[in-house]
Structures are given as structure tokens and as C-alpha cells.
């Protein structure tokens, strides 16, 4: 199963919106076939492993990180392929929460006389597939907040400069996070201050489709110009509210962006609507890059699912820009608690990964 996990990781950039899955076929103690998910519409991990094994698949055990699919989509069911190839045993880590599968794959295998074992390395696979599992089970894209801050938690100096808080290693890693995300999101303040392109750069492997650029601008402040609206780089989706003018919305559309008029909540667009709309467009994970008010709104609403914090080696002082804004805590007993899930040194900088310690329900 460890080998299947490693194979699945090779498909992280190419498989979405499908899950990235690995499969290893073993017969008489020998690996006879391996495979992972390919691009949407192509063969799944199990079918690729069976093709590699050929006739040796008969009587083999299939180790697959996710329950084999049992429905007809753009490809036939993997369950049928496993049964037809004569696989005698399937070991899978977790059930697929997709309602078209969700236990049906395991049930159909057992009905066909295939022995099934379930739960091997389940925790590791759940972590690997966290965005997919979240999107399928909640109907919302997984919101991963990403920020770079100084040692004293500031994202910019008093004069507004922020280049560069972290060094090249950390910035390359941040672009890897972009490549692994189906969408990259910023608020109007960041779009106006930084004029970002929100593309994958710094030598990272490119996904087959560039991440969707997402702008939150409830009042129509951001002009429809610059790299963010360059259609040759990547598509752009603007979430706005009825407060924005028709002129602003028409200008965004004329520049080639999709415009989504969403209801307002807490003086901004409703984040629940945003995350559901992204999920409906096939986005599994959205990388929320800020700024401070956007990060604060995700925390306040309960829709922050993870945090990747890059910590630089500078100290910027009390007048620097805060990491979160518009987010107040009355006392320690009211403070949201997060659990550190990983930490990594990157030359003179560091990256700390965190997730909510308690699964408090979002404010719907």
C-alpha cells in the first residue's frame, strides 16, 4: 500500500477533479502491475495496473488507495475490470464518499466473489486525498489559506512593502501549492496593491489546466486590466455582489472573466456560496492567498480548512500589516484552536501547516 500511495502522488497534478489514486497488483509475492490515475477521461489506476500486469493479474491481489469505482462515467467501472481480469483479492484503504460509489464498489466486488479487505493505511490516504474527500462530502471546495509572514507575524512593512518576506525556496514551494490547487483566490485589496497574475511559476511542474484565478470584489473596485485579466495566462472568475456597478461587471466580462453575483454576508460576498460554486466547477482545493481581511473572513466564518504559513527571518514591528484583519477574539476561551500538522525548514525560512483542532460547523 505504501507503493500505491507513492504512485497516487504522481497523479496529484493531473487527476483532478478526479481523485489521485494508486494501484499495485501482487501475485505470489511479486509485483506484476502498477498504475495511477491519469487525466480526466483516461483510464483509472486499477485499469492501468491491470494493463501492465496482463495475464498475470489473474489470481493477484490489488492494493488500491481508494475504493474502486462502480459507476459508468467517462470510463467504465473499475470494479468490472478487476472482476473480468480475475483478481482474487482487493485491499483498499478508504471508501469513496462520491455518492455514485460510496460502498457500492466494495459490495459489487464481494458479490462477484472477490475477497475484500478495507482500512489499510486509511489515515495516510485520508490525508493525501483531503481536498477530494472534503469536496465530495461537503459540496464545498477545500479552502487552504496561504500566507507569508515575518517572525512577528507581519505580512508587510509599515510602508506596505512585502518583497520579499521569504526567500526563493519558500516562494518555489508556494508555487507548488498553486500547482496543486484548482483555484487561487485573492481579495480586492490584494489585487489592487500587488496586481498579481496568480499563475504557476518558479520552475514548478505545470498542471494540465492552469488554476482558475478567483477575485472577491463585492463593490467593483478592481479594474478589468493587468495580468489578472489576461486570458492567455489562465481563466478568471470574479465573485461580486449587487453593490458593484453594472459598468464594472460588464468591463470584467468584456475582458473575458466570468462574473458571479453572489449574496452578501459580513460586508463581503457569502463564502459558502463561493466555495459551493467552485466545487460545482470541479475545484477540489482553492488556495486562499489573502489579503488579511479575506483571511480573517475565512477564519471568522469557519470556512478555513487548512493553513500553510511561511515564516521569514525578518522582524517588521508593530506598524507592519497583520496576518489577519477583521477578526477579533474576546478572550482565550473564545480563541479558535488549530493543530500543527507539519513543519519544514526552507533555508532561512520555515513552513508550518495547521488544521482546525475542532471541526466547528461553519456559520451557514
Question: Does 362 map to a domain?
Answer: no
Does residue 46 carry a catalytic annotation? yes
| 82 assigned to some structural domain | yes
Rounded to whole angstroms, the Cα distance separating 309 from 331 reads 23
How far is Cα of residue 321 from the mean position of the Cα atoms in its chain?
Answer: 27
Which ranges of the chain have pLDDT less than 70? 203-204, 359-364
Any idea what the CATH number is for the domain that residue 17 is in?
3.40.140.10
Same domain, 116 and 262: no
Q: 88 and 163: one domain?
A: no
Is 364 inside a domain boundary?
no
324-356 pLDDT, tens digit per residue, is: 998 888 899 888 899 999 999 999 999 999 999
Helix orientation angle between 45-53 and 2-9, rounded to the nearest 10 degrees: 110
* Same-domain status, 153 and 54: no
pLDDT given for residue 359 in this prediction: 60
C-alpha 29: how far from chain center: 36
- CA gap 61, 89 in Å, rounded: 5
| Boundary residue ending a domain (73, 93, 128) | 128
Residue of 2, 9, 46, 280 with catalytic role: 46
Question: Do residue 124 and residue 138 come from a single domain?
Answer: no
Q: In this predicted structure, what is the pLDDT of residue 201?
A: 87
* CATH code at position 161: 3.40.430.10
**Per-residue burial over 266-283, b = 16 or more CB atoms within 10 Å of its CB, e = otherwise:** eebbbbbbbbbbbbebbb
Q: How far is Cα 293 from Cα 300, in angstroms, rounded to an integer?
A: 10
Domain region containing 81: 2-128
Give the per-residue pLDDT at 118: 95
Structural domain count of the chain: 2
Identify the H or E element spanning 194: helix 188-194
Separation of alpha carbons 19 and 128, rounded Å: 10
Q: State residue 211's pLDDT score.
A: 97
65 contacts 123 by C-beta, under 8 angstroms: no
Residues 59 and 124 in one domain: yes
Evaluate whether residue 363 is within a structural domain.
Answer: no
CA triple 140-300-237, angle to 5 deg: 45
Q: Provide the whole-model pTM.
A: 0.94
Res 236: pLDDT = 99
**Residues 268 and 175 reside in one and the same domain:** yes
Domain boundary among 128, 161, 188: 128
Q: Which of 128, 149, 183 is where one domain is finished?
A: 128
| 238: exposed, middle or buried (Cβ count in 10 Å: 0-12, 13-18, 19+) | buried
| Domain match, 193 and 304 both | yes
Amino acid at each position: 500500500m505504501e507503493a500505491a500511495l507513492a504512485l497516487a502522488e504522481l497523479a496529484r497534478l493531473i487527476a483532478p477533479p478526479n481523485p489521485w489514486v494508486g494501484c499495485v497488483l501482487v501475485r505470489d509475492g511479486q509485483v506484476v502491475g502498477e498504475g495511477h490515475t491519469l487525466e480526466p477521461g483516461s483510464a483509472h489506476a486499477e485499469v492501468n495496473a491491470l494493463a501492465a500486469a496482463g495475464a498475470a493479474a489473474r489470481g493477484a491481489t490489488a492494493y488500491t488507495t481508494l475504493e474502486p469505482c462502480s459507476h459508468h462515467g467517462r470510463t467504465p467501472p473499475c470494479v468490472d475490470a478487476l472482476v473480468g481480469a480475475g483478481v482474487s483479492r482487493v485491499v483498499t484503504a478508504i471508501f469513496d464518499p462520491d455518492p455514485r460509489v460510496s460502498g457500492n464498489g466494495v459490495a459489487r466486488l464481494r458479490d462477484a466473489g472477490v475477497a475484500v479487505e478495507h482500512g489499510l493505511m486509511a489515515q495516510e490516504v485520508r490525508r493525501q486525498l483531503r481536498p477530494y474527500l472534503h469536496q465530495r462530502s461537503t459540496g464545498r471546495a477545500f479552502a487552504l489559506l496561504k500566507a507569508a509572514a515575518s517572525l512577528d507575524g507581519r505580512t508587510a512593512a509599515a510602508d506596505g512593502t512585502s518583497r520579499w518576506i521569504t526567500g526563493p525556496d519558500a516562494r518555489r514551494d508556494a508555487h507548488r501549492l498553486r500547482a496543486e490547487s484548482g483555484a487561487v483566490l485573492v481579495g480586492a485589496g490584494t489585487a489592487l496593491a500587488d496586481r498579481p497574475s496568480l499563475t504557476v511559476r518558479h520552475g514548478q511542474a505545470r498542471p494540465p489546466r492552469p488554476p482558475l484565478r478567483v477575485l472577491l470584489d463585492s463593490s467593483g473596485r478592481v479594474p478589468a486590466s493587468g495580468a489578472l485579466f489576461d486570458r492567455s495566462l489562465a481563466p478568471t472568475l470574479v465573485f461580486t455582489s449587487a453593490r458593484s456597478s453594472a459598468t464594472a461587471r460588464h468591463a470584467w466580462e468584456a475582458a473575458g472573466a466570468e462574473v458571479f453575483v453572489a449574496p452578501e454576508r459580513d460586508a463581503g460576498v457569502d463564502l459558502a456560496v463561493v466555495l459551493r460554486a467552485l466545487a460545482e466547477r470541479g475545484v477540489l482545493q482553492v488556495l486562499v492567498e489573502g489579503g488579511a481581511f479575506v483571511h480573517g473572513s475565512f477564519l471568522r466564518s469557519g470556512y478555513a480548512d487548512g493553513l500553510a504559513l511561511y515564516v521569514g527571518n525578518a522582524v517588521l514591528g508593530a506598524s507592519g500589516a497583520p496576518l489577519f484583519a477583521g477578526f477579533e477574539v474576546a478572550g482565550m476561551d473564545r480563541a479558535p484552536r488549530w493543530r500543527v500538522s507539519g513543519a519544514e525548514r526552507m533555508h532561512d525560512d520555515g513552513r508550518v501547516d495547521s488544521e482546525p483542532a475542532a471541526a466547528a460547523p461553519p456559520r451557514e
